[in-house]
């Protein structure tokens, strides 16, 4: 299967999942998680109509930018972001999915102000309470979101989450449902119903994420094939 064929097949599955949930398929964006895939693969995904590409590592993103990997589609940053690397991402990524602390968000705001822009971001929720993952714990998220709303030069557009790895089929559904509830409640109470991005779901579970309310799914291996880790 080519990248284009994979994207068409995933779009069809996304549309089915949306219809089953009584949702409009057009409100759900397909983000290609392109880590460890080269510029040619990124360009093939863009030619096939991917909505955006998401990168995980700043260094890899910078190298692929020089190769014009993302020309023709928005670039998102979806990986863990260190404060000292934020400078390379602010103003370059249309959306940063993975804001995991208020200190990072303040730094993003400072950098955006210097460039005279407003950076769109999502707050990452550590929905499984895992030590190994970054993100706001669910019980501190509301407080953080309230403070985030007052930070200039950033616009919080919603939430992102990566649930713990599950062995059971549909095991992520309860986690997706919890994130969706936080998204709806915080969006209504603190953001004037202006939240529009709920980023959750990957190759193995994007249909369940859509059932729970995702508006962005981040799909890697189902588009680009299995990654070769060294
Ligand atoms: C790699 C990655 C994905 C995609 O994972 P697949 O299982 O390959 O679809 C999604 N989100 C993030 C943050 C990732 O790092």
Protein residue with its CA nearest to atom 6 in ligand 1: 220
Protein residue with its CA nearest to atom 10 in ligand 1: 218
**Total-model pTM:** 0.97
Confidence of residue 166 (pLDDT cuts 50, 70, 90): confident
Residue 167 has pLDDT above 90, yes or no: no
Residue 196 has pLDDT above 70, yes or no: yes
- How far away, in angstroms, is 42 Cα from ligand 1 center? 15
Residue 126 has pLDDT above 90, yes or no: yes
Identify the pLDDT of residue 230.
61
15-40 per-position pLDDT tens digit: 999 999 999 999 999 999 999 999 99
Residue 130 has pLDDT above 80, yes or no: yes
> Helix 3-20 to helix 39-47 angle, to the nearest 10 degrees?
50
Question: Residues enclosing ligand 1, CB less than 6 A?
Answer: 33, 35, 56, 78-79, 162, 202-203, 218-222
Pocket test for ligand 1, best of 61, 81, 204, 218 (most atoms within 8 A of CB): 218
Whether the CB-CB separation of 65 and 42 falls below 8 Å is answered with no
DSSP state letter for 162? -
Q: What is the mean pLDDT of residues 121-144?
A: 96
Return the percentage of the chain with pLDDT > 90, whole number.
96
Whether the CB-CB separation of 53 and 73 falls below 8 Å is answered with yes
- How far away, in angstroms, is 22 Cα from ligand 1 center? 26
> Helix 138-148 to helix 173-190 angle, to the nearest 10 degrees?
30
**Alpha helices per DSSP H over the chain:** 3-20, 39-47, 58-66, 102-115, 138-148, 173-190, 206-212, 221-224
Q: What is the mean pLDDT of residues 190-216?
A: 97
Residue 117 has pLDDT above 80, yes or no: yes
Confidence of residue 224 (pLDDT cuts 50, 70, 90): very high
Atom of ligand 1 nearest to the CA of 35: 1
Give Cα 9 distance to the centre of its chain.
21
Residue 93 has pLDDT above 80, yes or no: yes
Alpha-carbon gap, residue 100 to 68, rounded angstroms: 28
Name the 3-class secondary structure at 48: coil
Q: 167: Cβ–Cβ under 8 A, 6 or more apart, which residues?
A: none
Residue 222 has pLDDT above 90, yes or no: yes
Average pLDDT, the chain: 97
């Amino acid at each position: 299967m080519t990248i284009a064929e994979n994207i068409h097949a995933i779009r069809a599955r996304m549309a089915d999942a949306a219809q089953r949930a009584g949702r409009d398929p057009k409100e759900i964006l397909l983000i290609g998680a392109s880590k460890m895939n080269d510029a040619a693969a990124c360009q093939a995904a863009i030619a096939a109509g991917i909505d955006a590409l998401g990168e995980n590592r700043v260094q890899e993103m910078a190298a692929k930018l020089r190769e014009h990997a993302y020309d023709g589609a928005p670039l998102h940053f979806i990986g863990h972001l260190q404060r000292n690397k934020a400078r390379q991402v602010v103003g370059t990524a249309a959306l940063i999915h993975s804001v995991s602390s208020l200190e990072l968000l303040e730094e993003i705001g400072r950098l955006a102000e210097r460039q005279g822009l407003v950076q769109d971001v999502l707050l990452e929720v550590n929905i499984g309470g895992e030590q190994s993952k970054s993100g706001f714990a669910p019980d501190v998220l509301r407080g953080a979101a309230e403070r985030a709303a007052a930070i200039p030069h950033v616009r919080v557009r919603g939430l992102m989450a990566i649930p713990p790895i599950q062995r059971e089929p549909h095991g992520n559904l309860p986690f997706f449902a919890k994130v969706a509830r936080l998204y709806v409640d915080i969006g209504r109470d603190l953001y004037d119903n202006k939240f529009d991005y709920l980023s959750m779901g990957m190759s193995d579970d994007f249909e369940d994420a859509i059932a729970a309310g995702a508006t962005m799914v981040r799909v890697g291996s189902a588009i680009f094939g299995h990654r070769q880790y060294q």
